[in-house]
Amino acid sequence: MSPLQLGLGALGAAVLLVMVIYNLWLAHKNRPRLPDAAPINLSEPFGGREPTLDADALDDGFALPVPEKKPGLDALIDVIAPIALEAPVSGDAVLATLPPTRRVGSKPFAVEGLNTATELWEAARAGQRYSQLQAGLQLANRAGALNEIEFSEFVIKTQAFCDALNGTPDFPDMRREVARARELDQFASDHDAQIGFVLRARRAAWSPSYVQQMAARQGFVAGSMAGRMVLPAGVAGLPPVLSLSFDTQAALADDMSQSALRELNLALDVSQVDRGEHAFARMCEIAQTLAAEMDGMLTDDNGVPLPAEAMTVIGADLEQLYDTLDQHELGAGSALARRLFS
C-alpha cells in the first residue's frame, strides 16, 4: 500500500472518529435533563418541606383564608323556592326523597332544611329534623345563564320532591329569575380572569421527572391527573392556588427519562383562590425561579416574552378586579365565587 493510500485511510478514520464523537456529544446535549440522584418524594405534601414565601415580594404579609360556614344556597346566585311543610320532617325522609341527580341541565340543584334544633339552614342530615325546606337552582356558571327550559325542569323536579313529602313549594316568577340569571352571567363573563404563563426551554429539554422535582421544590404536589401538579391552598379542601401542567403522554411514558418536554404551563384561576393567598405574586415568583433554575424563558400563550413590567401591570389590574368582586359580595375564593365561576 502506497504512502498516499495510507494517508487517505488515516484521514478517513480520523474523520469518522470525529463524526462519532460529534454525534455522541449532540445526543448528550439534546438528552432531556434528568432529576438529581435523590428526587423529592411527591407523595409528601410540599415535597417533604413547608413552602415559604419571600417576605419582600408580599407587601402586607401572608394571611391564611378562613373557611366559610354559611348556607350553600344564596339568593344572590340561586333561584330559591321555599317549601312549606305540614309538620317537621326527618333528615332521613328528605335524603330518601331527593332526586337521583343534583343537576338541572348544566346548573347545580340543591335542597336545604331549617334544623329544628340549631335553627340553621343546612343540607339534610340523617338523624335531624327540619321545620322548613327550600329548593334552589344556580342562576349562572361558566356554562352560561339559566334559561326557560332549565327553570321549567327545576319546577318539575322540585314539585315531584314536594309531593313525596306533602310539601308546598312557592316558585318565584320565571321571567324575573331568567332576567337575573342573564345579568349575573354577564357580570361573571366580564370579571372572569384566568391567567396563564408558559415556561419554554431555551436549550436542553426537560424530562417529566426533572420537572416534577423542580416544581416540588417550589411546594407543588402531584395532581389528580398525569402531567398536572398543584400548589395547595392554605386551608385543606379549598381549590389549589396554582396549577402546573405538561404533556400527559410524556407523563405516562414507560421511561420518563426518554420523554422530552420543551414547555410547561403555569395557571391561576383567579376567582377560585382567596385574595389572602397572594396567588399572583406567588405565581410570578415561582415562574421566575423556575425559569432561572431550569434555563427557561417565560412567555405568554403566544410565545411573547413576559418582562417584569408586564407582570406589574397585570398585578395592578387584578387588584381592581378583586375590589370589584368584593363590592358585589363575590370575593375571590369565597363559596359563592367558587360556585359562580365553575
Say yes or no: 330 and 246 in one domain: yes
Write down which residue in 189, 206, 241 finishes a domain.
Answer: 189
Could you report the per-residue pLDDT of 57-106, keeping only the tens digit for each?
344 454 445 545 555 899 999 999 999 999 999 999 999 999 999 999 99
Does the pLDDT at position 53 exceed 50?
A: no
- Percent of the chain clearing pLDDT 90 (strictly above): 73
Say yes or no: 212 and 240 in one domain: yes
Does the pLDDT at position 197 exceed 60?
A: yes
Handedness of CA 294, 298, 304, 306 (dihedral sign): negative
Say yes or no: 56 and 118 in one domain: no
Lowest mean pLDDT among 29-33, 71-75, 119-123, 245-249: 29-33
Write down which residue in 171, 189, 207 finishes a domain.
Answer: 189
19 lies in a domain?
no
Number of domains in the chain: 2
Say yes or no: 209 and 311 in one domain: yes
11 lies in a domain?
no
Write down which residue in 161, 189, 217 finishes a domain.
Answer: 189
Say yes or no: 224 and 288 in one domain: yes
Does the pLDDT at position 39 exceed 70?
A: no
The CATH number assigned to the domain holding 331 equals 3.30.1400.10
Say yes or no: 275 and 162 in one domain: no
Residues 81, 154: Cα–Cα separation, whole Å: 10
Residue 151: closest CA among 161, 164, 136, 162:
136
Q: Which domain holds residue 91?
A: 78-189
Say yes or no: 290 and 209 in one domain: yes
pLDDT band at 256 (very low <50, low <70, confident <90, very high): confident
Say yes or no: 56 and 202 in one domain: yes
Say what the pLDDT of residue 45 is.
42
Higher local confidence (pLDDT), 32 or 327:
327
Say yes or no: 217 and 317 in one domain: yes
Say what the pLDDT of residue 282 is.
97
Q: Measured in Å, how far apart are the chain's first and last C-alpha atoms? A: 82
Handedness of CA 206, 208, 212, 218 (dihedral sign): positive
Say yes or no: 172 and 204 in one domain: no
284 lies in a domain?
yes
Say yes or no: 237 and 174 in one domain: no
The pLDDT mean for the chain works out to: 86
Does the pLDDT at position 191 exceed 60?
A: yes
Number of residues that this document lists for the chain: 342
Say what the pLDDT of residue 206 is.
94
Say what the pLDDT of residue 97 is.
96
State the helix-helix crossing angle for 174-190 and 148-165, rounded to 10 degrees. Answer: 120
38 lies in a domain?
no
- Phi/psi at 168 (5° precision): -120, 110
Q: What is the mean pLDDT of residues 125-132?
A: 97
